[in-house]
Each structure stands twice: as structure tokens, then as C-alpha cells.
Amino acid sequence: MSQSASTKEGLSPRPLMRLLGDFGNSQILNAAIEYDFFTHIARGSHGYEEIARAAGTDPRATRIVLDGLLALAMIEKRDGKYFLTPISEAFLVRGKPSYMGDFRHVALALWDGMAHLIETLKTGKPLSRMDTNTELEVWEKLVLGIIPIAQPVAKALCDILEIGAKRKGLRVLDIAGGSSIFGMTIVTRDPSAEVTQLDWPNVNAVAKKLNRERGLEGKIRFIDGEFRSAKIEEISYDLAIASNFCRFESPEGNQELFRAAYKALKPGGLFVVNDFLPNEERTEPTFALRFSVYTLTHTPGGECWTLSEYTRWLKAAGFASIESHADIPSTMPGTTLIVATKK
């Protein structure tokens, strides 16, 4: 028997089967978060019937899903009772500062488009859109879901720019600011900063609510709209930010955005892009490569762009002294801050 035949016979199909079945795992976790199973366990409900009563779910169905969570290593089972694992206790108990349950809305928002990837691969066109204001309801949930991965980047940006130390009183334009996590982080570091967020009205409403909950009501000014249509003051800002949405834009859309940011900034002002970047060969990180497929199924021209592509567009808009900061801890692989200076 040849070596190649022997190697093939030794292969296991299990990794492939696991990949094809992963959608089921995400739905088990999603359903458990929807009914706050982890929170109820944390509050002292450990039998499946107790958990079902607290959650308002069917007891038999609850037991089966709880055992499914056991298979996912999200809970433990001892003497017929269910207990949290360290990871679920840290991140899936509602009310904790480290709660990440809303991140599921990111995956759910991508679900519909990915279900039609076969059609998109044939036509090159998405069947579901996330880059238009018709998707406001999706974004209301999505902007909350990405807070756990955006907040570490916002803190890193403040460290890099020395906001509150070297730089104080900045006028900041947060373009498509979403939950306003960047704005809230900046005004927390430097209460003298003046932050303006530009985003769709329903998204701004979510951000305003979050500002109130964090004791920052009135600290951020909100403008309803988007960079293509809203009136943005020119030569007025020290810092402009575009976080977690350039991947949803086409090359032409990003160039239009960068020109708008350039006009809004004072001479010497800074423009910051935060996004998932693959390497120049598009071989890693794998997270950014997968996310490009998500943007393929939800936008007509978006994908995760490389540093050289961003650099080319920024220079064409007039920016100089472009630098990048990657390897940001506690967030997703490939997350990069690009800082460009207006001449």
C-alpha cells in the first residue's frame, strides 16, 4: 500500500462534520442566552425544572438544551444539577460588567445572508443587506453586541494618543459611532473633550440610553444621519474616528468617507480607522478572512481590507504620516488601528 493511500485512510471526517454542524451549536447557545439560563443558574436555580420555571420554558425542552450546553462545555452537571463553568460565569451572567451575551446579535445579524451564500457565490450580489438604513433594527442590537470587542480598542486608542494626558480638550467626530463606546471612553479619560457622534437616528437612541446608564448623559452630542448626506462642519475637528464599518464599504465608498473626514479635520488633525485587517497575502488571521465572507453576503462591495489598500486611499484623500497599531489585547484577531494625519 502506498504512503499516500495509507495517509488518506487514516484521515478522520470528524473535523469536517464539526464544521458543517457548527450552526447548531450557535443556536443552542443563542437560545440559552435568550432565556437567561446562565443568569438563573447564577441566582441559585440548579435543577432543570427550577430553571424552566424561572425562564418560562418547557421543562423537558429545557433539560435537553441544558445537556446540549454541557456538550459545549458551557455548563457542568453534578448529581443531576447544573452549574456554571468559569467562562459562562464570567461572560454570560446578565448584569455583570463583563457580560457578553449581546454579542450573539452580531452572529444572528449575519445568519440570513450566510444562509444564501450559494446564491451570492453565483451572482456576486448579497441577498441581505447590512449597509443601508433599512437595517436599523438589526443595528440597534448589533452595536450593543460589539461593545465587548470595541471597548478594548477604544481604550487602546486613548493610550496611543495619550488622551487625557498629552492631548486634552479634543473636538472629536465619531462617524457611525454606534453604541458610542469610543466617545464614552474618550470623555471618561478627558471630561474636557467634545465628542460628536454621527449615526442613524435609531442607533443614536440606543447610544443615548447607554450614555444615561453609564452616567454620561449630555456628554456627547448626536447628529442623526450618515456621512454621505449629513452636514458635517469643515475644518472643525481634532480627531475623527471610523470604527468597525469600513469593511462594509466598497473601495469607492471608503474613499468618499476618507475625503469627508479630511474636510472635517483641522490641519494636523488625526483620522483613525478601526477594523479587522488581513495580511497583504490574505492568508491570515483566519477571523478576518471569514469575516470577509460575511461582508460578501451582506454588502455589494465590502470586505476586510488590507493595510496597503487603506494606505493608498488615505494618501489619495490627502492624509500623511500614516501609522498602524495591531496586536491589541482582549479583542478579535486582526483588529488594527490606523492613524493618519491631515497635512
Give pTM, 2 decimals.
0.85
Q: Higher confidence at residue 172 or residue 130?
A: 172
CB burial class (10 A; 0-12, 13-18, 19+) of residue 301?
middle
Question: For the ranges 3-7, 262-266, 279-283, which has the lowest average pLDDT?
Answer: 3-7
Using CA atoms, how far apart are residues 286 and 268, in angstroms rounded to an integer?
Answer: 36
Question: CB neighbours of 307 closer than 8 A, spacing ≥ 6?
Answer: 277, 280, 324, 336, 338
Q: Does the domain spanning 3-99 belong to CATH 3.40.50.800?
A: no
Check residue 65 and give its pLDDT: 97
Phi/psi of residue 293, each to 5°?
-65, -40
Give yes or no for residue 305 having a pLDDT over 70: yes
Phi/psi of residue 320, each to 5°?
-135, 175
* H/E element, 188: helix 181-189
The alpha carbon of residue 326 and the mean position of all alpha carbons in its chain are separated, in whole angstroms, by: 16
Domain ranges of the chain: 3-99, 117-342
First to last CA, the chain: 68
Question: Collapsing DSSP states into helix, strand and coil, what is residue 193?
Answer: coil
Nearest to 338, CA basis, from 210, 244, 207, 220: 244
Query: Helix/strand/coil (H, E, C) string of 268-313?
Result: EEEEEEEEECCCCCCCCCHHHHHHHHHHHCCCCCCCCCCHHHHHHH
Question: CB neighbours of 176 closer than 8 A, spacing ≥ 6?
Answer: 198, 199, 226, 227, 242, 243, 245
* H/E element, 18: helix 14-34
Question: CB neighbours of 297 closer than 8 A, spacing ≥ 6?
Answer: 110, 113, 114, 116, 117, 120, 126, 127, 128
Check residue 97 and give its pLDDT: 79
| Cis amide prior to 278 (ω within 30 degrees) | no
Report the CATH fold assignment for 117-342. Rossmann fold (3.40.50)
- Vertex 280, ends 337 and 122: CA angle to 5°? 105
Using CA atoms, how far apart are residues 55 and 41, in angstroms rounded to an integer?
Answer: 10
Region 45-54 average pLDDT: 98
Residue range 204-252, pLDDT digits in tens: 999 999 999 999 999 999 999 999 989 999 999 999 999 999 999 999 9
Residue range 115-141, pLDDT digits in tens: 889 999 999 998 766 555 555 566 777
